[in-house]
Structure 1
Amino acid sequence: MSATIAPTVAAPPGRRRRVGIWVAIGMAVLVVGAIGAALTAGSEWVERDALDPDSAGPTGTRALARILEDHGVEVRIARDHEEVAALLSGDADTLVLPDTPSLSDERLRELVDLATDVVLIEPRARTIDLLIPSAAMAGAAAPGVVSPACALGDAERSGGIEPGALFTAAGGVSACYPVDGAHGLLMALNGDRRSSVVDGTVLFTNAHLADNGNAALGLNLMGRHPLVVWYQPGLADTDLADTDFTLGELTPPWVSPVIVLFLIAGVAAGIWRGRRFGPLVAERLPVTVRASETTEGRARLYAQSRDALHAADQLRIGTLERLSHLLGLGAGATAQEIADAAAARAGLDRGAARGILLDDVPATDADLVDLSQRLRQLEDAVHARVRPERNPR
């Protein structure tokens, strides 16, 4: 009993090439996706590490936290508001407060009231209004070192800085580092309690702490008490009951009526400018037209316009195409090459052949008839030399 072994058939080269192309495309998509995921993850880490006392990155604040500890100040990092409330005693402590969009105004006021000093290092309009009601944002400072120019001892001992965000405030608030009517540092005093507003994102981060008087200012503002509670809120730290807003709640009230108006206008425009349904003509398309009718129609148009040159061009184009095919010149041959080849094969003068196929210009209908006859005679002569056994017509 013999076994039959089926022959192995190799995949054709074209199929292997197509498979290879799709594999390369898939690999490229995976590489691009991996690069995008890495960049996204990197940006997320940068955002998460911003102003974080545990972060040694450029936007972190570990350097300032270590300086405070070296001067005998205990730095406690809290990542949710309940831990902040538990750490604050209100006797001798400082609350370092970044932006807290996930906390309600009531809970934020409770945390501020528990602290002896508050240093707002990431000012926003909402938190500034809660901390110093008479203060407001006033843009950003131009590059350049600014001197304190105020009677506040902490700022005078620190020296000049390059402030980032600027603020304005009414009377009763100490303001330092003036730039065009605004200031880079605000401090409100209420007995032994004080509230400070400064842009720590450009002063207290690891990348900029060694510049000018940044480190000294951070130490003077935060190191007045033996305990610093540094609030670094996490993504899940919120006291809001429902943070998933609907699209209707996020859009202004006039958006829905405008959308309805646009829909009505679109329907009205469609009815006004739209065409009726059904065929536009009763005749079914496509219509078959005989080639002879097309030729006769074009001939009548040429005759009515008395355009002998255009008619001659059409006759020459047809003759040149047939001669090129007959002589085996291919589609890339020029009219001059076809004329020279036809003259050589038919035994005619090259100039005479070019005159028939290219140069002679018929001025009258009689000239056009004569040219058509000479074109036919030239084609017949070439055909007789190439295929003498066959009738050219």
Structure 2
Amino acid sequence: MSVSTSPTAAGLWRRARAGVLVGLLVVLTAVIAAVIAGGAGPGRYLDPDDTSLRGSKALAQLLRAQGVRVDRVDSVSAAESLAREGDRLLLVGAPWDGGYDEAERLAAIPGARVVVGDQPYFDVLAPDIVAERGLRLRSREPGCDLPAARAAGSVYLGGMGFEAGGTSCYGGSLMVSGTVTAVGNGDFMTNQRLAEDGNAALALHLLGTRRAVTWLVPAPVAPGEEQVAGPGGKSFVELLPASIPWAVLMAAVAVGVTALWQGRRLGPVVAERLPVVVRAAETVEGRGRLYNARRARLQAAEALRVGALDRLVPRLGLGSGAGTNEVVAALAVRTGQDPGWLAAVLYGPPPAADTELVALAGYLDEIERLVREH
């Protein structure tokens, strides 16, 4: 008599339910994250108070550390009021959303001025500079004799290109005409890009020429206006029925409870005692004897050096990808030993005799001891 071995529906469900539950949990988690993140607006571009990648708080802090006062304003009236103090620089960073009359008022403010990017009334803010082309954003060399550009070196610039009107640098993406400086894009001043190339140096040279900076940013956006708008001007979150967030939360709780209830601890398929336990010291000694029997000084020295480096690199505060020069330089500072000797011990040729191998082990122990003590 033959016996059927085809799986039943119940058996198939038992095998597949764990995967189904995990898939549902992942989907619900993604939905919850999307709902929660729906009301969160992006960082404010070139805002000296914004700590996001798009903001410029890092640059503002560097300017203050150099003794430059940074005043964040979001209106032309506030900028005009601060201008009465004199010896100030006006920065028009993020695209200004004011009208033509306000652009004329900004242009009438005395003192130096830096205009960033594609402003709606660029010809009013920088009347002597002609903007005619777009440039790809990338690292660019100065290509001019401007002191700020020569001190900074390569900078991440591009965006708007300037054809005429003054001293041109960085392939036309920076131009100086009198007291007005125009840069094609402000990404080099953001928290994300400031530490790259000579971005920080150029930004500090451009904005640190006066004792104070009037940093103009667009007026704050009312809560909800930055969300993706749907029919009737409503955001995605506002279009969701009021019961949806509760339903998602209840479903997530139900899936979590089910996963805990049906979950299985991972462990050995069959509980089996090992026939013998080998101590670590015996394993090391046995490997050493094998190296000695085969005269494998190269492999033994490599094992000693790799093990020493694995223990030293974290103590020096270096990453796993640190190069030879970085490790040797850090060890020389930490231990006070000669860099040439350290390089020979850690990265030199393999020992030619057993006595040299023993000496190498002693040198490695000495280096580790000095690092621990210092």
Q: What is the TM-score with the length of structure 2 in the denominator?
A: 0.48
| Bigger Rg, which one | 1
Q: What is the TM-score with the length of structure 1 in the denominator?
A: 0.46
